[in-house]
Chain A
Amino acid sequence: MAWRRLARLNLSRSRSRITSLHYLLSNTSPDLSSESLTASLYSQFPKLTATSISHDRRWYSYSTNLGQAQAISSGGELVEVPLAQTGEGIAECELLKWFVQQGDHVEEFQRLCEVQSDKATIEITSRFKGQIHQINFNPGDIVKVGETLLKILTEHSESDSSERTSPFDVETSSADAQNQIQVSSFSGGVLSTPAVRHLAKQHNLDINQIPGTGKDGRVLKEDVLNYAINQGHICKDSPSTDKVELFNEKGELRGNFVSTSAYEDKTIPLRGFHRAMVKSMTLAVQVPHFHYLEEINFSALVELKEAFKNENKDQNIKHTFLPFLIKSLSMALTKFPLMNSSLSEETSEVILKGCHNIGVAMATEYGLVVPNIKMVQSLSVLEITKELSRLHELATHNKLNTDDVTGGTITLSNIGAIGGKFGSPLLNLPEVAIIALGRIQRLPRFDEDGNIYPASVTNVTIGADHRVVDGATVARFCNEWKNLIEKPQLLLLHMR
């Protein structure tokens, strides 16, 4: 009943009026029932006139607290529009909706989007005139302060605006007029754009003192720069060495020129692999890890590798330890499938994975990436070698596809190739085990007869999810794998 009553009040259907507004202090107040009707909608309401444009500190600011460069609009430039800091300590907002889409043309101060922070919905307007080049967020996304909301290809040019006499000027004259009202209210009389104003500020110049050569005495970018040179102004406070002048007043190269950039902080945005690493490590840290350390004697493996190398007819294949380790790992997993599993928390189940998709951590210039070799149990050592080489090549050139980096069931990290003896690797979720191989060292060890001989040993650290596997399982698994590595002939015995 209540539903239906209120459904009738739905505005989109109703065109009736508030006919009985009950005044609070009135004596003859009709009793308002829930049947009261909504205000009417007719289309003759006078158009809004924007007469109230004054000092417009919209939901953007000239300088953000994050120190990100605000691109100066200077004609045909792609500018990034960040969600600006308001100084209120708001760290993020939810994007509610866009009023523009890619390809749209926007004017200065036109609405771009609406965001929500805590208690308020706020409209963000454009500082620039131009075309929407790229939109980075969808409605519902959380945007952190400082992140780029969208990119605008600006079309405004200070020098052009004074010289152009095309019909376009006529159409935009009212916008220009508004801009002029806008800018003159800033400085009490000097006409210029916010970008030029910013440039003057950067050079510590009073824009009111600068003679303008643009239309109606407008101060242009060139005017600011010429004035700065004439005054012998140096950008003392400029944070960027791009602005530091190399030449003094006489035009001579400055002596003792020291680059200040070496001492400044650099901000690197997190992208690609690095960003993914932040995400995956944050998740990994929530899992209770334990680490198991074992020493493995690679002496037999070293001999085997030499044998492979000598027999190798194909110059393109480089034999390393890794393919063998991967194959023996797969064989050990056959006996200990729990090490090749995944935990499903929602259903409280452990899924024993059928395929041995062994991931190999690779450090590339783009960051850490872990492609995996699929179904290792069905591949020969040679096939594994080739596949490893293929993945390494792709990773180096950042050409791995999604299939290569998903579906892994256990990970191997050959950090020892770079250095280190021990590690405490973090799991590559949703896997339950990860193995880090330390550097191969030449150390004295005892053989079966009690004689000392030079052995190639390496430390292996196994990290495991203690919700799924216990120490005993890992220890037995590691013993099995160690045995296969130290006695490669066993591999032959058990190989399918």
Chain B
Amino acid sequence: MNLHNAKKTALPIMNLVKMQGVPILDQLHLEERLLRSDFKNWCILNVGTPQPTIVMGVSGKPSELVNIKSVIYNQVPVIRRFTGGGTVIVDKETIFVTLICSREAVPLLNLYPQPIMSWTGTLYHDALSDFGKFHLRENDYVFNNLKFGGNAQSITKNRWIHHTSFLWDYDVKNMDYLKHPPRSPKYRLERSHEEFLCKMKYFVPSKLIFIEKTLNSLQKHFVLRPIQADDINALNIPYAPSSRLLTKEELEKELLSTTA
């Protein structure tokens, strides 16, 4: 036991923030600030965002990724986030898990996309392999061949962020807002959303168990330190994040430019 504790204290500290129902835009703002203006390790957990929201990667044209007409008509918010990667539609049944780390947090980890992706794959494999055939397939987390977790990253000089949106459950109708992206993973094989995705709730007994398992897996690499709301406010992080909501005018302009 002593050895275990001793070993534990040698692990780096990771601040843990647990949230529920915080809007995804706020979460992205917080994450970007912590990535760029802080130097500690963080794990941000957010269970659900209040309303179905489309979140696009840092580049990429809305007209190619999203059915703009129905998005405007149904007033679905569209956010452009600060990390790369694809487009997702998230709602109150999406679980967000974000890891923000400094260079030395994970020993011998090279700060490139693939090694980081691979490392998180082993992390979630530890957490989820009891519940199904978990794989990291290209850049997605899958059970068998069905995707339930999408990833995105940003790598800076000495830090990296890897965030995941897990589909605990989703409304298949919402997926119709998303087009088949111009670049999609090979294993997708032209499948529609229903045939390509799966709901975590059919594999994992409860959200609580998923989170517990994930944190247990994290604790093999970090000492987790829960952070209170006041502590975050006290950080006073002076950074203006770039993730933003696209305005209706921008979307209309995009729609006009493609139909013109």
Smallest CB–CB gap between A35 and chain B, Å? 9
Smallest CB–CB gap between A329 and chain B, Å? 39
Residue of A at shortest CB range from B34? A39
The answer to whether B155 touches A123, judged by C-beta atoms less than 8 angstroms apart, is yes
**Among residues 206 to 231 in chain A, which have CB atoms less than 8 Å away from a CB atom of chain B?**
none
- In this assembly, does B209 line the interface, its C-beta being within 8 Å of a C-beta of chain A? no
**Once the chains are docked, how many angstroms separate the CA of A343 from the CA of B135?**
50
B233 surroundings in chain A (CB, below 8 A)? 17-18, 39-40
**Once the chains are docked, how many angstroms separate the CA of A108 from the CA of B78?**
38
The answer to whether A34 touches B23, judged by C-beta atoms less than 8 angstroms apart, is yes
A122 surroundings in chain B (CB, below 8 A)? 112-113, 154-155
The stretch from B123-131, B171-179, B186-194, B236-244 touching chain A is B236-244
The answer to whether A21 touches B51, judged by C-beta atoms less than 8 angstroms apart, is no
**Among residues 81 to 121 in chain A, which have CB atoms less than 8 Å away from a CB atom of chain B?**
86, 88, 90, 94, 96, 109, 111, 116-121
The answer to whether A58 touches B245, judged by C-beta atoms less than 8 angstroms apart, is no
Set A24, A96, A109: member contacting B58, Cβ < 8 A: A96
A40 surroundings in chain B (CB, below 8 A)? 233, 236
Q: A36 and B26 in contact (CB under 8 A), knowing A41-B237, A52-B158, A119-B113?
A: yes
**Among residues 39 to 63 in chain B, which have CB atoms less than 8 Å away from a CB atom of chain A?**
39, 45, 47, 50-51, 53, 57-59
Q: A36 and B22 in contact (CB under 8 A), knowing A10-B245, A11-B241, A121-B58?
A: yes
The answer to whether B22 touches A119, judged by C-beta atoms less than 8 angstroms apart, is no
Set A11, A39, A88, A109: member contacting B157, Cβ < 8 A: A109
The answer to whether B113 touches A20, judged by C-beta atoms less than 8 angstroms apart, is no
Smallest CB–CB gap between A175 and chain B, Å? 15
- In this assembly, does A278 line the interface, its C-beta being within 8 Å of a C-beta of chain B? no
Q: Provide the B93-121 mask, 1 if CB < 8 A to any CB of A, else 0.
A: 00000000011100000111110110000
The answer to whether A119 touches B152, judged by C-beta atoms less than 8 angstroms apart, is yes
Smallest CB–CB gap between A33 and chain B, Å? 7
- In this assembly, does B9 line the interface, its C-beta being within 8 Å of a C-beta of chain A? no
**Once the chains are docked, how many angstroms separate the CA of A47 from the CA of B140?**
36
Interface residues of A (CB under 8 A from B): 1-3, 6-7, 9-12, 17-25, 29, 31-34, 36-45, 48-50, 52-54, 57-59, 86, 88, 90, 94, 96, 109, 111, 116-123, 125, 140
The answer to whether B157 touches A125, judged by C-beta atoms less than 8 angstroms apart, is yes
**Once the chains are docked, how many angstroms separate the CA of A17 from the CA of B69?**
34
The answer to whether A120 touches B211, judged by C-beta atoms less than 8 angstroms apart, is no
- In this assembly, does B25 line the interface, its C-beta being within 8 Å of a C-beta of chain A? yes
B240 surroundings in chain A (CB, below 8 A)? 11-12, 41
Residue of B at shortest CB range from A24? B18
The answer to whether A119 touches B25, judged by C-beta atoms less than 8 angstroms apart, is no
The answer to whether A9 touches B158, judged by C-beta atoms less than 8 angstroms apart, is no
- In this assembly, does B151 line the interface, its C-beta being within 8 Å of a C-beta of chain A? yes
B151 surroundings in chain A (CB, below 8 A)? 119
Q: A119 and B235 in contact (CB under 8 A), knowing A6-B77, A57-B110?
A: no
The answer to whether B59 touches A45, judged by C-beta atoms less than 8 angstroms apart, is no
**Once the chains are docked, how many angstroms separate the CA of A44 from the CA of B237?**
8
- In this assembly, does B37 line the interface, its C-beta being within 8 Å of a C-beta of chain A? yes
B76 surroundings in chain A (CB, below 8 A)? 2
**3 closest residue pairs by CB, A with B:** A120-B113, A120-B153, A42-B236
The answer to whether A88 touches B21, judged by C-beta atoms less than 8 angstroms apart, is no
**Among residues 59 to 91 in chain B, which have CB atoms less than 8 Å away from a CB atom of chain A?**
59, 75-77, 82-86
Q: A38 and B29 in contact (CB under 8 A), knowing A6-B23, A45-B237?
A: yes
Q: A18 and B232 in contact (CB under 8 A), knowing A34-B51, A116-B59, A122-B113?
A: yes
The answer to whether B51 touches A2, judged by C-beta atoms less than 8 angstroms apart, is yes
B57 surroundings in chain A (CB, below 8 A)? 116
Smallest CB–CB gap between B192 and chain A, Å? 22
The answer to whether B157 touches A118, judged by C-beta atoms less than 8 angstroms apart, is no
**Once the chains are docked, how many angstroms separate the CA of A246 from the CA of B240?**
60
The answer to whether B30 touches A45, judged by C-beta atoms less than 8 angstroms apart, is no
Give me 4 other A-B pairs in contact (C-beta within 8 A), A3-B75, A39-B233, A118-B113 excluded.
Answer: A29-B20, A58-B111, A119-B117, A119-B153
**Among residues 8 to 30 in chain B, which have CB atoms less than 8 Å away from a CB atom of chain A?**
17-23, 25-26, 29-30
B59 surroundings in chain A (CB, below 8 A)? 94, 96, 116, 140
The answer to whether B25 touches A6, judged by C-beta atoms less than 8 angstroms apart, is yes
Please count how many residues in chain B sit with their CB below 8 Å of the partner chain's CB atoms. Answer: 67
**Once the chains are docked, how many angstroms separate the CA of A119 from the CA of B17?**
24
Question: Which of B77, B84, B116 counts the most chain A CB atoms within 10 A?
Answer: B84
B58 surroundings in chain A (CB, below 8 A)? 96, 116, 121
Interface of A, secondary structure class, is loop
B245 surroundings in chain A (CB, below 8 A)? 6-7, 9-10
Q: Provide the B146-162 mask, 1 if CB < 8 A to any CB of A, else 0.
A: 00000111111110000
What would 17 A/B residue contacts be, using CB atoms closer than 8 Å? A2-B76, A7-B247, A24-B208, A25-B208, A29-B20, A39-B233, A39-B235, A44-B236, A44-B238, A45-B37, A52-B102, A58-B111, A86-B112, A96-B59, A116-B59, A119-B84, A120-B116
Question: Which of B30, B117, B154 counts the most chain A CB atoms within 10 A?
Answer: B154
**Among residues 206 to 258 in chain B, which have CB atoms less than 8 Å away from a CB atom of chain A?**
208, 211, 228-229, 232-233, 235-241, 244-245, 247-248
Residue of A at shortest CB range from B105? A52
Smallest CB–CB gap between B55 and chain A, Å? 12
Residue of B at shortest CB range from A54? B104
A7 surroundings in chain B (CB, below 8 A)? 245, 247
The answer to whether A120 touches B26, judged by C-beta atoms less than 8 angstroms apart, is no
Smallest CB–CB gap between A320 and chain B, Å? 49
- In this assembly, does B122 line the interface, its C-beta being within 8 Å of a C-beta of chain A? no
The answer to whether A117 touches B84, judged by C-beta atoms less than 8 angstroms apart, is yes
The answer to whether A88 touches B229, judged by C-beta atoms less than 8 angstroms apart, is no
- In this assembly, does B139 line the interface, its C-beta being within 8 Å of a C-beta of chain A? yes
- In this assembly, does B33 line the interface, its C-beta being within 8 Å of a C-beta of chain A? yes
A117 surroundings in chain B (CB, below 8 A)? 84, 113
Residue of B at shortest CB range from A21? B229
B155 surroundings in chain A (CB, below 8 A)? 59, 120-123
The answer to whether B50 touches A33, judged by C-beta atoms less than 8 angstroms apart, is yes
**Once the chains are docked, how many angstroms separate the CA of A54 from the CA of B76?**
45
B117 surroundings in chain A (CB, below 8 A)? 119
Smallest CB–CB gap between A179 and chain B, Å? 15
Residue of B at shortest CB range from A116? B84
Smallest CB–CB gap between A28 and chain B, Å? 13
Q: A45 and B152 in contact (CB under 8 A), knowing A21-B19, A36-B23, A39-B33?
A: no
The answer to whether B112 touches A22, judged by C-beta atoms less than 8 angstroms apart, is no
B47 surroundings in chain A (CB, below 8 A)? 24
